[in-house]
Amino acid sequence: MKSRQLRRTLIAIVMAFALVLAWNALPASAQEKSKPKMKSLYERLGGTYAIATVVDDFIERLLVNDILNANPAIKEARNRVPKAGLKYRVTSMVCQATGGPEKYAGRSMKESHKHLNITEREWQALADDFKKTLDKFNVPEKEQQELFAIVNSTKKDIVVSSAMK
Ligand code: HEM
């Protein structure tokens, strides 16, 4: 009785070992195919054109946001920097950050915002406009949260003053 149990255990171990060997012998591509593939945020948002459409709407809102335009440094930059270029840069940045093939070639967030003296209140104004844009395009809650996590990760480099003025 005992030796039968032992034999069964041994057979089970040998089979498990054989399965691991067989799995490792499969080409990597076959292993990948058998795993459920999670789509990137970039793909779930609909790729470059969908992201560019969202960025376009978002930046148009920011350009007429009274809270932001009350800051003379932001207003000056708005009048100086062509909005098509800004939209292009922000689009390529979002595409890259969400897993797309685009490569962001602009300055760092610290470098490009340090002269703007952006406050906590102005940051909040941007977040409110972002939410309005995402809702307008019916971006699902999960994807909105992931996008906000990306945007919020830049806050420490962009907001220089915690004042709510
Ligand atoms: C209240 C918050 C923000 C304000 C008022 C703001 C405003 C501006 C302005 C005026 C510029 C042009 C600056 C210049 O060239 O002199 C700029 C550049 C840029 N911003 Fe923002 N921004 C804000 C937050 C963000 C966030 C959250 C992101 C991305 C997650 C972002 C991405 C960019 C990019 C990619 C550029 C272009 C940098 C380059 O061309 O090198 N900004 N922003």
Q: What is the pLDDT along the chain (165 residues), one digit of tens a residue?
A: 567 787 887 777 767 666 666 666 766 666 656 667 899 999 999 999 999 999 999 999 999 999 999 999 999 999 999 999 999 999 999 999 999 999 999 999 999 999 999 999 999 999 999 999 999 999 999 999 999 999 999 999 999 976 555
Tokens describing residue 156: 């420490």
Measure 2 CA to ligand 1 centroid, in angstroms.
74
Ligand 1 atom with minimal separation from the 107 CA: 41
| Correct CATH for 41-161 of 2.60.200.30, 1.10.3720.10, 3.90.1150.10, 1.10.490.10 | 1.10.490.10
* Cα Rg, the chain, nearest whole Å: 25
